[in-house]
Each structure stands twice: as C-alpha cells, then as structure tokens.
Structure 1
C-alpha cells in the first residue's frame, strides 16, 4: 500500500481559535469544533477577521480513506515536521484537513511534494 496522497489546496484561509471557557461557540460560523477539558478549539473561515493569524489547508479527500488505514496522517505531518512547518489537523471519517500557517505555504508544498505527495491548486 502506498501512503502517497493527492491533496487539494483549499482556496480559503482559516483561523484557529481557543475558547478556554466555552463548550459551544457563540455563532454558527465555524468549520470544525473540538471540545476538550481545557476548552473549545474552533476552526473558522478567516475572511471576516483582518488581523488574525491565517492558516491554509491541504485536504486529503481526493482519495478518501477510512479510519482503519494506518499511517495516512503520519505520511503528511511527518515531512512537514521535518521541514519545521507547524500544523493543525482536523480529521473526518474519510480524510484529513492539514492546516499550516499561511506564510509557510510554499515550504509545506515543497515538503509534501518532496515526500511523494501531489498537491493540486
């Protein structure tokens, strides 16, 4: 089995927020939520936010995989870690959304393609 994946660069930019005292966001303008003992993590579309750190996403949904396929996420975040690119990940049942800081997009694409992945614009 090959772990090389075809990724789609997501056209929008994202914001990652930590809401330490929340169990739900105050609005419905979110893409993903993760509730943990230390609070709520929210991923949002960054377009309405002018001065927040922006993240760009690479989605592995071009070739969906199930949750029982080992190593798929590691095959993506490993090369990014080796290149020193920070990541934030939101996974679905069939795919992963790997976010990297917008200013590190070029580094991320280079690391992923060098590892054998294909990144479609």
Structure 2
C-alpha cells in the first residue's frame, strides 16, 4: 500500500454520532445544541444535523452508530489534498465516510463497526493517532 504524501495526526472525538435529516423548512431543534461536536447544514431540500446520537429523538430520520475522527492541526487552511489523503484509503477498501470540514479541521464519520479497520488503513498510509 502506498503511503499518503501528507502525514496527518488524528484523534477520535468521544461519543457516538448520528446524521439526521429534517425537512428543509424545519427550525433547528433544541436537541441539536449543547456540548460536543455538532454540525448543522441547510440545503435547498433538507436540513442535516450531525450530533451526539443519544440526543436525536427516535422519530427523527437518522443514520446512527457513527464514530468521529478529527484532524489535529495546525496546517494551512488552503492545504490541498487533506480530505483526499484521509478518504482515499478508506473508500478504496469499502469504508463509507461522511465528512464535515470546519475552519480548523476535518471531521470524518465512519460507521462504528469499521473503526478498527479504518485505524489500520490510516496508519498504514502514514497517519498517526494521538490522544
């Protein structure tokens, strides 16, 4: 396996996450706030909320049981290939990824059941995990 040209530091964000879909005209619900990692994206046809799985009501359409990896910087805001170097070894080995980028870093959500395999693949590609 060829190592990535970028070697990044990663860490797991504590908890288990969900990716919820609400109607485009929905207001942002109260359960979508609080401590920890949250991402809220409104598009023309939906409102997507990424947050701790334990706060998403059962009746809300959501994909659950996601683990969250985060890059540990700093690195240049305009650095090319950061997301690609992370998702390429995962995608090419059948691991689906949901990516949320923030100003300071990338968050990769992978299914909890793929955690061990994802770590092995990312380490084999030159990335390292820190606590």
Match of 2:68 in 1: 57
Match of 2:44 in 1: 37
Instruction: From the CA coordinates, give the structure whose radius of gyration is larger.
Output: 2
Match of 2:22 in 1: 19
TM-aligned CA deviation for residue 5 of structure 1: 0.2
Match of 1:3 in 2: 6
Matches within 5 A, 1:31-110: 31-48=38-55, 53-60=64-71, 62-110=72-120
> What TM-score, normalized by structure 1, do the two folds share?
0.86
TM-aligned CA deviation for residue 80 of structure 1: 0.8
TM-aligned CA deviation for residue 20 of structure 1: 2.9
TM-aligned CA deviation for residue 28 of structure 1: 4.8
Distance change >3 Å, CA 94–CA 112, structure 1 → 2 = same
Distance 2:56 2:100 in 1: 20
Structure 2 gaps, min length 5:
none
Cα pair 2:66 2:109 within 8 Å, conserved: yes
How many pairs were matched up?
A: 119
Match of 1:120 in 2: 130
TM-aligned CA deviation for residue 81 of structure 1: 0.5
Structure 1 gaps, min length 5:
none
TM-aligned CA deviation for residue 84 of structure 1: 0.8
Distance 1:81 1:117 in 2: 16
Cα pair 2:67 2:111 within 8 Å, conserved: yes
- SS of corresponding position for 2:49: strand
Distance 2:106 2:121 in 1: 17
The Cα RMSD (Å) is 2.0
